[in-house]
Structure 1
Amino acid sequence: MEHGLDAPKHLDGMFSWVLYDKNQDRVVAARDPIGITSFYIGWSSETPGAVYFASELKSLHPVCDKIQAFPPGHIFDSKTGSFTRYFEPTWWDPTNVPSAPVDYKVIRASLEKSVRKRLMAEVPYGVLLSGGLDSSLVASIAQRETLRMQEAAKAAQAQGAELNELVGIDDSNDLSTVTTFQQLHSFSIGLPGAPDTEAALKVAKFLGTKHHAFTFTVEDGLNALSDVIYHLETYDVTTIRASTPMYLLSRKIKAMGVKMVLSGEGSDEIFGGYLYFHAAPDREEFHKETVRRVKNLHLADCLRANKSTSAWGLEARVPFLDKEFLETCMGVEPSEKMITKERIEKYILRKAFDTTDEPDVKPYLPDNILWRQKEQFSDGVGYSWIDALKDQAEVHVTDEMMKNPKPEWGSDIPDTKEAYV
């Protein structure tokens, strides 16, 4: 490799890869900085010295007796048999509390650039649009870029230029190849009357995307649970709750011929958007928790987004987890992010895209969406979904079963009936 073990530092995006150097009989593997893609490493006592890699645990189980998640932001070298962390952002040490003042224009420009980079595609694409702040901002930026490139394509055609099928971003932060962009498609899913579905329709109408609002029934969700667990390879209750609607939606999207979608994961971790961040006692603890949550994204939201979509051959790209955007926003003074009586969660992100004081700039979102309080995804698709899961567990799991966990579970014993199921 030209750059040796520093090679991943020169990559920008999500990836998991394994390279074999035949001359040195050496294997080198790496995973993207945050762990957006799923990646595992394993060893077998029957084949000492061999190392196994896979994007799914189930591929390694038949041959490996030791398996672990490949750590995000690391590179593995078979020559030493060790991992080296190549991802070294300024915010990695949670005790190093940043103090940079918030710059709303920089935050806006950074997210716009991140979305723009992820529109590099040669396949039909769309956006997941729940109607919440994060997915709505991603959809808004993507729609602006789509319309901008449509105008550029028309101008180029008028001058006799040939149009291409692949676009990319150049060093000046512009899409470097003029192409014909399709109309942007957006997608949402929920139980009938779900809060997110209604909000998504409002956003889609405001932006002008071609929106597809799908619904599912509680029975659909329950019937899919075993498949969801199979593909997600986890029994984590919160992850399964949120993954089931996303899994069902991904199937619908892929059936329409769409192969890539933009998604809004990561924002809540970066900006402290979860409601429990209200309880942060001070700026230091607030920052520590955001760092912890970002570092653990590969165990939860990234795992959900990657595996729920890839189960159907759909690729999910995540603009909020761009390296440059992370460096910008994780470096902001934590007190600027903290929730107060005057400031709703993710205030600085909302403010960055508030154009009230910019009369010449078209609004990114309606005010009632830009300043809408967060819904948990599994709540937003319909509150009765979680109730149904709990009711199902009550029917199938008795108190006696809870008192006598299965021996093969070892110390990993479920503490609720829903987890037992």
Structure 2
Amino acid sequence: MCGICGWVDFRADQRAPERRAVLDAMTATMSCRGPDAEGTWVDRHAALGHRRLAVIDLPGGAQPMRLDARRDGEPELAIVYSGETYNFRELRAELGGPWRTDSDTEVVLRAHRDWGADAVRRLNGMFAYAVWDPQAEELLLVRDRLGVKPLYYLPTADGVRFGSEPKAILADPAVERRVTRDGLRRLLSWVHDPSNAVFAGLREVPPGHLVRVSRAGVREERYWQLQDTGHTDDVPTTVRRVRELLDDTAKRQLIADVPLGTLLSGGLDSSALTALAQQYTDGAVRSFAVDFTGYEEDFTPDDVRGTPDAPYVREVAEYVGTDHTDIRLTTDQLMDPAVRSATLHARDIPAGIGDMDSSLYLLFKAVRAQSTVALSGESADEVFGGYRDFHDADTVAADTFPWIAGRMMKQGPSLLAVDLDLDDYVDAQYRRALSEVPELTGPAANDPHERRMREICYLYLTRFLPTLLDRKDRMSMAVGLEVRVPFCDHRLVEYVFGTPWSHKTFDGREKSLLRHATKDLLPESVVQRVKSPYPSTQDETYEKALRERAADLLRHGSPVEPLIDRARVAARIDGPMTGTHDMGARTQLERVLDLDAWLRDYDVQLDLT
């Protein structure tokens, strides 16, 4: 894993000392993503910065990496790379030697020399990288198919700035920290949109895309997209194929030259992944789970969480035979100002989900003390249809994004005082997303429910999952932990996306294909367990602490005041305690506090004209 940054600027030679100082500052912001090494390289019109987390070929994978120089003294190509290419050994054999390192970075660099931009189509992995061609004077910015690894860019009059995170680009003094109404809409809408990365002008390289930067300008190109596959396999064949893909993916993603573990929640996804990892590991796999002090003993079922994780975690760890560690957190830890500040800095924007960010950050920090790499069950719900919204008729029928129509995201009257026309913004995003959905073919094409479920699956994979992946990446890389997501293997995603909804629910349950493909590995209680989301503390003192901090904000004033309705915030502070039975109410207070901290810490210039 790593952090990358840099720029292309065609107006003048970029090798002046002051330009190197800017590159150094940008690279320094990526130190958490790459605590093991640092490297920079400056060409006449390009600059590349890299921070390294050493996972494969510890002594040989230094970056920026360059191919041998041409006769004129310039390198043929140069690269800064973040992520993992899981099939690099097969590609290495296909490309042939000689090789200077054992790293996957050199394989990707050589692949671009031999195959050009089409090289990315051959990569299996999670990655974000930049390749500079001095002779063609062209930069390629490349991102993996599902958007597991982040990559941002800012077009300029003379080229582009880029970085793994916005903070790298914002470290350039020439870049404004301005946020417009559109930026706030993206921030508050719960809809992923790569063309709007909150800060004015900032964009993401969309998942499955590359960006070409040359003297002719900046151009995005799609190299991968979800398609209708005309699925003809029957259910038993489909289940077998899913298992084959899971087995192969698990084996590939266990490759590392550093300690590796799994994240275990006791749900079907993480339990299946942990069991698969144990099958292909010598000795006991390390597994880790997050919990809260008193959570299991005092647990109260609510609308989305029917059971605590801990009993299932213990059962899986014993059944599979892992070397297990529970990370138990207190409310004081979750509300620690230093922790909340760290999570904001990691995400660069105010996420507004409070303890679910703080606890993930603290979990990853504890895991990093024992492992450098962890496998996560993230994305199984989006791929296999696990969320309750997939199975609620009213939510499915709603003419909007299902997670917005669903109960989890209903938050009551807004605490904001500014009218951002969020409904119109969300509707425009929804119509745009629907226009991209590949049409069904075959018998399923005549079934309205199958067509609608194809849309729902596409919406979750392209407009919801990227937000979760970004959260996972930011929280883990903030502590120098590489988290891999086997359920995002593009071969698995393509295959399951192409299956009819009737296959995905053939046993009358959610995630039928995953359940039956892995049930031989798991205790029956976990096979039958109903989906339970990532845990959120039920400790009443947490909500009390939120209210106290919001009240303090109103007493002393803050940068967020122009955005909020003081009367509504005060009413929420003085209203009845809600606990996890009304997460929307708590989330709104989290949002106000996070917005305040963000405006202060990032020196944001609001432009709401």
In structure 1, what is the Cα distance between the partners aligned to 2:562 and 2:124? 42
Per-residue CA distance 1:116-159 (angstroms, 9 max, x = gap): 1101111110111111111100000000111xxx4xxxxxxxxx
1:374 equivalenced with 2:546 (yes/no): no
How many matched pairs? 363
Q: Residue 391 of structure 1: CA displacement?
A: 3.5
Cα distance change on mapping 1:230 and 1:405 into 2, 3 Å: closer
Report how far residue 97 of structure 1 moved: 8.7
1-structure distance, mates of 2:482, 2:126: 11
Q: CA deviation at 1:23?
A: 1.1
The one of 166, 179, 194 aligned to 1:57: 166
Query: Which consecutive residues of structure 1, in runs of 5 or more, have no partner in the other structure?
Result: 151-181, 355-362
Q: Distance in 1 between matches of 2:288 and 2:364?
A: 9
Q: What is the alpha-carbon distance in structure 2 between the residues aligned to residue 390 and residue 32 of structure 1?
A: 39
Alpha-carbon distance between aligned partners in 1 of 2:552 and 2:341, rounded to the nearest angstrom: 23
Separation in 2, partners of 1:271, 1:84: 28
Q: How far apart in 2 are the matches of 1:251 and 1:405?
A: 31
Deviation at 1:283, TM superposition (A): 2.5
Aligned-pair CA distance for 1:297: 4.8
Local SS of the residue matching 2:207: coil
RMSD: 2.9
TM-score by length of 2: 0.56
User: Given that residues 269 and 294 in structure 1 are in contact (C-alpha distance below 8 angstroms), is that contact kept between their aligned partners in structure 2?
Assistant: yes
Structure 2: runs of 5 or more not aligned: 1-112, 177-200, 297-307, 398-448, 570-586, 594-609
User: Which residue identity is paired with 1:113?
Assistant: D
Distance verdict in 2 for CA 1:221–1:324, change over 3 Å: same
CA contact (8 A) 1:250 1:312 kept: yes
1:219 aligns with 2:373: no
Residue 245 of structure 1 pairs with residue 417 of structure 2: no
- Deviation of 1:202 after TM superposition, in Å, equals 1.2
Task: Call closer, same or farther: CA 1:74–1:106 in 2, change over 3 Å.
Answer: same
Matches within 5 A, 1:111-130: 111-130=246-265
1:239-269 superposed Cα distances (whole Å, 9 cap, x missing partner): x44332221111112122x110100000111
Amino acid at match of 1:396: R
Match of 1:177 in 2: none
Corresponding residue to 2:312 among 199, 202, 209: 199
Greater Cα shift, 344-353 or 214-223: 344-353
> Where does 1:216-365 land on structure 2 (aligned, <5 Å)?
216-223=329-336, 224-238=339-353, 240-256=354-370, 258-279=371-392, 280-281=396-397, 282-297=449-464, 299-338=466-505, 343-354=508-519, 363-365=520-522
Q: How far apart are the structure 2 equivalents of 1:407 and 1:6? A: 50
Q: Report if the CA contact (8 A) 1:127-1:261 is conserved.
A: yes
Identical counterparts, % of pairs = 27
Alpha carbons of structure 1 residues 400 and 232: separation in structure 2 relative to 1, 3 Å = closer
What is the TM-score of this pair, normalised by structure 1?
0.79
SS at match of 2:250: helix
Deviation at 1:225, TM superposition (A): 1.8
- State the SS of the aligned residue for 2:451: helix
Whether 1:396 aligns to 2:549 is yes
Counterpart residue identity of residue 378, structure 2? E
Classify 1:371/1:298 alpha carbon distance in 2 versus 1 (closer, same or farther; 3 Å).
closer
Which of 186, 193, 214 in structure 1 is aligned with 2:287? 186
Mapped partners of 1:58, 1:265: distance in 2: 25
Cα gap change, 1:201 to 1:107, in 2 (>3 Å)? same
Equivalent of residue 69 in structure 1, options 188, 201, 204: 204
| Larger radius of gyration between Structure 1 and Structure 2 | 2
1:288, distance to aligned residue in structure 2 (A): 1.0
Deviation at 1:186, TM superposition (A): 0.6
Report the alpha carbon displacement of residue 83 of structure 1 after superposing the two structures with TM. Answer: 0.6
Deviation digits for residues 218-242 of structure 1 (CA, Å, limit 9, x no counterpart): 110111222112112232234x443
Q: Contact conserved, 1:272 with 1:286, CA < 8 A, in 2?
A: no
